[in-house]
Amino acid sequence: MSNIIIATVPHTGTHSVIELFRNKEYNKVDLDELVDGTIKLDETKTNLIYGHMRPRNMEIIEYLSQYSTIIIPIRDPLLSLISAKARQRPYFTGEIKDGKQNLATNTKMFIKPLNGRKDKKKKIKGLVHLEGRTIIGDCGNRYDLKESEHIPTSNIGIRQQLFLWEIWAKQMVGLNSLHVPLDLGVSDVVYNGIKFKDIGVYRTQGNYPLKQAYYNKDLLAISQELMDSLEALMKMEPILRPPLEKLGYKNLLWWSS
């Protein structure tokens, strides 16, 4: 049995990287389902294991890294926040005001399946309340908001995303991993015969005002949209900047001089 593991921060190219392996006869395994025990690895095939690097998933990610390289797509964290904002999923509307969680009440959340077809949508639960903790649905997966409450932004979805960036910087960098900075040009990166330069084929979000503001280096326009989420990212510079610089990132818009 062999494994290919894709562990990501949301909005860094998870599905685009998975799509690179689309023509291979791999056994696709959702990391959250593997942790939950609702799915098992196939010992007769190569398992393509994919998912986000949530705290609940880290133990199995660290275990698998002993035997297989972890593929980690990377983008400028600010660009990943912009992508998250642009997609406007319902759980991104939750805010924290006066110390209280004011969550989105729309529980009819939908996601587009991996194959990209728009005629089939999967209905999932939006919010779950359990033992005094509020867990918010993300494509059927679980978040515990307590884990990220130290990150100062009122946008719950982005707060969780920044928390996973923090996990990447503190835990993932030291693992047996292949980091693929998608927005720096990756023509020389090859894994199991897969060329990551082909990733552009699957990026279909196109252009929009907030992304254009990023490429125009208009931090003021970005701050007006992201507000305290941008401030929270900027406060994480001491944690995120060193590993990003090692990957080749320079003079990012949200860095100090």
Query: Which pLDDT band holds residue 114 (cuts at 50, 70, 90)?
Result: very low
Q: What is the pLDDT of residue 152?
A: 86
Q: What is the pLDDT of residue 94?
A: 41
Q: What is the pLDDT of residue 206?
A: 65
Structure-derived torsion over alpha carbons of residues 128, 5, 244, 146, reported in degrees to the nearest 10: 20
Per-residue pLDDT reduced to its tens digit, 16-63: 888 887 767 888 899 988 988 888 888 888 899 999 988 888 899 999
Average pLDDT over residues 79-96: 63
pLDDT above 80 (res 142): no
pLDDT above 70 (res 100): no
Per-residue pLDDT reduced to its tens digit, 169-213: 998 887 888 888 878 765 566 676 676 765 654 454 567 788 889
